[in-house]
Structure 1
Amino acid sequence: MQLDSFNQGLMSFIERSPTPFHAVSSMAKELLSAGFIALDESEVWDLKPQGRYFVTRNGSSLIAFTVGDSNQGVRMVGAHTDSPCLKVKPTPEVKQKGFFQLGVEVYGGALLNPWFDRDLSIAGRVTFLNAEGRLASGLVDFKRPIAVIPSLAIHLDRDANNGRAINAQKELPVILTQLGENEDISFREILKAELRETYPGVEVAKVLDYELCLYDVQPPSYLGLNNEFIMSARLDNLLSCYIGLSSLLDAINDDSKESEKQPSSMLVCSDHEEVGSQSAEGAQGTFLLNVLERLFPDAQQRGKVISGSMMISADNAHGVHPNFADKHDNNHGPLINEGPVIKINANQRYATNSETSSIYRHLSEQLNLPYQSFVVRSDMACGSTIGPITASNIGVRTLDIGVPQFAMHSIREMIGSKDAHTLFRVLARFYQESNLHINNM
């Protein structure tokens, strides 16, 4: 896949995926189109050699895999489907001064200032009773701008530019509409109407609950005099989901490779990374282990396969911001458009070791593609990823890597227009690599 085609596909995928539920739905459609078979965890699986399969959990996490040569282990790529955002509270209605507002809860470590004065919409999953009194769930996406958090004028807040903190309880309720003097409105009734429009012919008797996110309706776009950059919401980490999916499909569709000799390949896209991964569908849950147990039911064989496997945890990295270059170690400041970033931390906040790093470096050099390395300043705290969680849960050797970006956890983030495609090419090669063995002298 060429660079511009790849980037256009990335931007389209992100625009279609305002929530983890929508991201998983989009990926599932791509996998079905590529000949993958959807599995159900509640059923017995009959897996065939050279088969292509995927399974979802909670509608917000997905694992896709191929059944290859088990003697070569499994080539795994991991990412996460969630992004920091504002979520609608269960009883959200706030009515003040004639305005109908929704109370929101901050999900993850969001940068809050950029959420003000944006054209916001609402999307997510709604669970309801149908006309027969049965439970059902469906995805909704209002798509058009229906909400806003207006800033307070500088004249009424002279300290606004002096580092004032945001009170999430008081200052983040979004304005949805204005009400007449005796007018009343229920958010669940609004959702009921939206469900009926989304699913014509489905009678919604009662909305019971929902998981809904606010999001910015501005679509992804190129930026820069020469289209050097891409601006978008949710680059952390739908970017890595798209890279992982695209590289998997590219690798298995390579006609130059004999499919029966290919290693098993796996894409793991987990929810709830931004809040610690501690859920049934998060990386700290059992989803990946359960799939591996079904793919390799014999414990002895499974242990052997995992010992020959490798996981690449793909999650974006901090590029050097030109206005804040001192926030980086001088020798480990990743530059935008200079290649993916190998992430290293002595305290295991990243799972990279010298061998997994060397494997990635070797694959990149074979393709004549650039890469960089990142170590956080020694006087700053380091974030983490699903890499160490996965490595410790199943005992697989792991590499942490990511595309460098600016404005991580903002409502709108920025990457270079070359780096994602570079990582895509290396991961496609990784999925096909038959020998990851390193001789110990």
Structure 2
Amino acid sequence: MVTRMSKAKAYASDFIAFVNASPTPYHVVDNAKKLLTAAGFVELKERDSWVGSVEKGKKYFCTRNSSSIIAFGVGTNWVPGNGISIVGSHTDSPTLRIKPVSKYNAEGFLQVGVETYGGGLWHTWFDRDLSVAGRVYVETQEGNLVPKLIKINKPILRIPTLAIHLDPGSGNKFEFNKETQMFPIAGLVEEMINKLEDSQPDETDKRDVSFQSIKAMQERHQPKLISLIAGAAGVPISSIRDFELILFDSNPSTFGGMSDEFIFSQRLDNQMMTYSAIRGLIDSVQDPKALEGNECIRLISCFDHEEIGSESAQGARSNFLPSIVKRLSGLTGVAATDISVAAANPTTFYEETCNKSFLLSADMAHGVHPNYASKYESNHKPLLNKGPVIKVNANQRYSTNSPGILLLEEIAKYEQVPLQLIVVRNDSSCGSTIGPALASLLGTRTLDLGNPQLSMHSIRETGGTADVELACKLFASYFNYYHDVQEKIFVD
């Protein structure tokens, strides 16, 4: 017999495997594609015409920059101008990124220059076992430049703290300069370490290398690092042309607590909500007849660059989601010989769809910290493992309002998912999410929510084991019942 806790732990185990395999937004999207493909979703290319390609009763996904992804299923009763139930999240987390020129040597150490990304708790990155992962562009024998994902599965970097004996006046206050005192060490300056493993000329390389518009990779970065990257990519060193690599904690995410009630992990913000959105969508269509008779499109949109304001071509403030909604709003979703109604007759389908749609902006929330309880508003102290948290802010840092709360409350009843509420204290700052940005872009009703966690933006965060399943069930219920519930809640 499967108990409720064992089922919750199964969901959490799948999530832990997902986050351990996803050290970068590129890996998040790549692993999302694998899950969606296995569930019968078909990939579309944004640069192609979708006229006649999107059919009722079928499931699709598309990506942008390989770091943002949108997936959706079309109800069999969909007609142009109908509504879309949307869950939005983000694929990025605060991290350190290797600089374009990262080669530094000091006091006999090989070091790697890094740049801060987002608003991390940077002191938590000290004295951790770090590695690198990301996207590497390599040149093929045909002269094409293609991306490869890499993840070096061993600790190669570390940012050491200064012994307290050498700074006795600091007491318990840890201060440092992010530019000059946050250099990871990568090795020692020795001939064998600083030597390329395959430094012999590549006889297959016929390019004229007499001109270099930018310094060669071996000059810009530690040669041993380039060697490790080439090994992880499975290519010769000479084929590496450029990369976007970030640092991550090489210690895997795991269950924690005396009863495995916690998840100790990096990147809970926001991979827990991204995974839950993906899994919720997949769970909602696992029945082959799930889309039959449904009048809506169910959609997830997972964006890069939320941690730095979403101002990019693949961020939530871009045209990625609006352009996809615009395409879908006028598509008839029938045979490939048909054409788009919107293409043949300019209409207001897009505006109608935006007005009939709803967005759940899914981003992790602050759970109450037992050692800092006074930092929370006294009546709003979300607990781990007690369900998703609805986030409210009068100044519209979150887009939640009463109709949205009522809608989610009714949705949650179908699967008996408990919900919590939070507002921050008036004397405390409030973070923001993709919710307000997308609400403004689309004019769509929006609610902000997220699972509760501790140590947000730390290199190691703490979440609740049971909350993964609860979020997945909530999103699946939302996709299954949005159309029925929204018709009962009146708002102009």
Amino acid at match of 1:91: V
SS in 2 for 1:170: coil
C-alpha contact (below 8 Å) 1:77/1:312 kept by paired residues:
yes
SS in 1 for 2:300: strand
SS in 2 for 1:401: strand
Do structure 1's residue 139 and structure 2's residue 146 form an aligned pair?
A: no
- Name whichever structure is richer in strand by fraction: 1
Q: Which has the larger radius of gyration?
A: 2
Do structure 1's residue 48 and structure 2's residue 55 form an aligned pair?
A: yes
CA shift for structure 1 position 368: 2.5
C-alpha contact (below 8 Å) 1:131/1:205 kept by paired residues:
no
After superposition, the Cα gap between the structure-2 partners of 1:199 and 1:142, relative to the gap in structure 1 and judged at 3 Å, is closer
In the other structure, the counterpart of 2:333 is none
Structure-to-structure mapping, 1:40-439, within 5 angstroms: 40-45=45-50, 46-68=53-75, 69-70=77-78, 73-180=83-190, 184=194, 186=218, 187=221, 189-190=223-224, 192-194=226-228, 196-200=230-234, 202=235, 205-254=238-287, 257=290, 259-261=292-294, 263-297=296-330, 298=342, 299-433=347-481, 434-435=483-484, 436-437=486-487, 438-439=489-490
Distance 1:379 1:131 in 2: 60
Do structure 1's residue 35 and structure 2's residue 40 form an aligned pair?
A: yes
SS in 1 for 2:238: strand
C-alpha contact (below 8 Å) 2:367/2:384 kept by paired residues:
yes
Q: Which moved more, 1:91-100 or 1:8-17?
A: 91-100
CA-atom RMSD in angstroms: 2.0
SS in 1 for 2:386: coil
C-alpha contact (below 8 Å) 2:78/2:295 kept by paired residues:
no
What's the TM-score once normalised by structure 2's chain length?
0.85
After superposition, the Cα gap between the structure-2 partners of 1:160 and 1:112, relative to the gap in structure 1 and judged at 3 Å, is farther
C-alpha contact (below 8 Å) 2:8/2:468 kept by paired residues:
no
Amino acid at match of 2:362: A
- Deviation string 1:368-424 (CA, Å, 9 cap, x unpaired) is 321110101011121100011111111111110000100000000001111221121
Amino acid at match of 2:490: N
Do structure 1's residue 8 and structure 2's residue 13 form an aligned pair?
A: yes
SS in 2 for 1:418: helix
SS in 2 for 1:383: coil
Distance 1:288 1:152 in 2: 46
What's the TM-score once normalised by structure 1's chain length?
0.95
C-alpha contact (below 8 Å) 1:320/1:335 kept by paired residues:
yes
C-alpha contact (below 8 Å) 1:263/1:432 kept by paired residues:
no
After superposition, the Cα gap between the structure-2 partners of 1:63 and 1:111, relative to the gap in structure 1 and judged at 3 Å, is same
SS in 2 for 1:211: strand
- Deviation string 1:38-66 (CA, Å, 9 cap, x unpaired) is 11112122211112111110010000011
Distance 2:71 2:191 in 1: 53
After superposition, the Cα gap between the structure-2 partners of 1:218 and 1:240, relative to the gap in structure 1 and judged at 3 Å, is same
Distance 2:313 2:227 in 1: 31
Distance 1:159 1:114 in 2: 21
Distance 2:55 2:430 in 1: 42
Q: Which moved more, 1:377-386 or 1:131-140?
A: 131-140
C-alpha contact (below 8 Å) 1:340/1:420 kept by paired residues:
no
Structure 1, unpaired ranges of 5+: none
Distance 2:148 2:61 in 1: 20
After superposition, the Cα gap between the structure-2 partners of 1:122 and 1:8, relative to the gap in structure 1 and judged at 3 Å, is same
Amino acid at match of 2:264: M
Counterpart of 1:19 (choices 21, 24, 34) is 24
Identity of aligned residues (%): 40
